Amino acid sequence: MTKPTASFWIHELLLQPHAEGGYFRETGHSPELIVTEDRRERYLYSNILFLLTADNPSHFHRLKSDEAWYFHEGSTLTIHLLHPDGRYEAVKMGRHPEKGELFQFTVPKGVIFGSSIEGSSGDYALVSCMVSPGFDYRDFELLPYDALIKVYPDYGSILEKLAYKKLPEASFSKDHV
């Protein structure tokens, strides 16, 4: 049997392009609703399948909810975190725990993050993500390079790689950090 490709998974799992980069499909959410601090009803949690490729990373964004990532298939994935205190952190996910790679990791709410695959253009990583409280586009911010470089000037090389210079249309973005 040949090794599955990114195209195989995109087709088989009915994934669609995501504004932050990569491909995704919502796979479900809790039947329960909760009321958030800002008095909005939200699902207790929501789930997606998410696929990134070496040439289609997840660009820097921020959520108002925690997001748990679960590695399934493919190449090593790096989650790049920009913490509110100015600290940068890189977390590796993959199938090699002996190299420090994790099978699961939770990005804390309010942390700016993006993800990348190192390798050739054929490399990909397939993960699933669970957001709690459930994902809502009103709580999703794509953050542009110009805004991030002012707050994180020491991390220009990763910002060059994962921050949009110009945000895509209908990106649900904000220009502040």
- Which CATH number among 2.60.120.10, 3.40.50.1110, 3.90.850.10, 2.30.30.240 corresponds to the domain 39-162? 2.60.120.10
The per-residue pLDDT for 120 is: 66
Give the pTM.
0.91
Q: Quick check: 53 and 6 in contact, CB under 8 A? A: yes
DSSP state of 36: -
> CA angle, corner 29, sides to 18 and 106, nearest 5?
70
Paired tokens of 40: 């909005």
State how far the Cα of 19 lies from the Cα of 152, in Å rounded to an integer.
23
By three-state DSSP, how is residue 70 classified? strand
User: How many residues in total does the chain contain?
Assistant: 177
Low-confidence ranges of the chain (pLDDT < 70): 1, 120-122, 170-177
The per-residue pLDDT for 85 is: 95
By three-state DSSP, how is residue 9 classified? helix
Element (H, E) at 60: strand 58-63
Domain segments of the chain as ranges:
39-162
The per-residue pLDDT for 40 is: 86
Q: Quick check: 142 and 172 in contact, CB under 8 A? A: yes
Q: Quick check: 45 and 134 in contact, CB under 8 A? A: yes
